[in-house]
Amino acid sequence: MNIHWLDYLVVFGVTLVAALIVVGVYSFGVRLYAVSQDEATASTPGNRVALAKAGAFACFGVSAVAVLYGIYLIVPALHG
């Protein structure tokens, strides 16, 4: 039996990078949402609040799609 150790390193690297990207996008969405709530109470123009809130929900959507795609890849019954 021959174990390909380089393949384990590739999987580790890809998993690490993907996790960092998903967490980063989600945390950016949380920050945008917090900014939109702060500006909404500070009586700033509605355009900026709406843009920040839309960006937050877009980040949440991208994170959700990435997580759902990961689940799709892991569970064989979903693509079998």
Domain ranges of the chain: 28-80
Mean pLDDT by 10 residues, the chain (80 residues): 91 95 98 87 76 96 96 88
- Give the global pTM: 0.82
Task: Provide the terminal-to-terminal Cα distance of the chain, rounded to the nearest Å.
Answer: 28
Whole-number pLDDT of residue 79: 82
- The candidate with the shortest Cα–Cα distance to 53, out of 22, 44, 19, is 44
Instruction: Give residue-wise pLDDT tens across range 49-59.
Output: 889 999 999 99
